Amino acid sequence: MIADLDPSLSPEPAEDKTAQKAELSRGRREFRQHLPALRERFPLVFPEDIKAVKPLHHSVTAAVAQAMGWTFPFARGVVKGYKLSIPYCHAVLRHRERIGPDGEPVEGSTVDDADRLSARCRIAEFARHKKERRQREQVEAVQASGVPIPPPDPVPFVPPPIPPTVP
């Protein structure tokens, strides 16, 4: 199925780069809205069960563009938004082979160490933002309750050790 994709959907080099970037950005913003349609059309590639998510081969983007009737940059943005999701990052860490548009592993396409590092960083960044958001919400809840926040305990001063003197 990878070989019979429509080559006219790939971006033309002469196309306006600004328009391509705008379509890519729009696809990333709107990927959640299009995910149900993608799951209906490609149930093995975009599964609902997060444990069944697998790393995607780059040919999936062209297949999505062709099947959904989207421009290539828009489809790229939608797929990129999906690839930035935390379940996808966990899938990159769990699996070695990438799958194609038919849901089958693509011969010779594996997840490399750079992909795994990127996935780990994305998961860590998400966890950090989640922790910061939780702390911010707790502070806002306390402030909204009208109870004053006590100042933090002062850190006691500990003088530095005195270096030994030479006789």
Q: How many CA atoms lie within 13 A of 14 on its CB side?
A: 0
Give CA separation, 96 vs 37, 51, 64, 83, in Å: 27, 15, 22, 15
Give pLDDT < 70 ranges for the chain.
1-15
Per-residue confidence (pLDDT) for residue 43, from 0 to 100: 94
Per-residue confidence (pLDDT) for residue 144, from 0 to 100: 82
Per-residue confidence (pLDDT) for residue 12, from 0 to 100: 54
The pTM of the full predicted model, rounded to 2 decimals, is 0.74
99, 88, 92: which is closest to 116 by C-alpha? Answer: 92
CA atoms of 138 and 162, how far apart (whole Å)? 43
Per-residue confidence (pLDDT) for residue 148, from 0 to 100: 74
Per-residue confidence (pLDDT) for residue 62, from 0 to 100: 94
CA atoms of 41 and 11, how far apart (whole Å)? 23
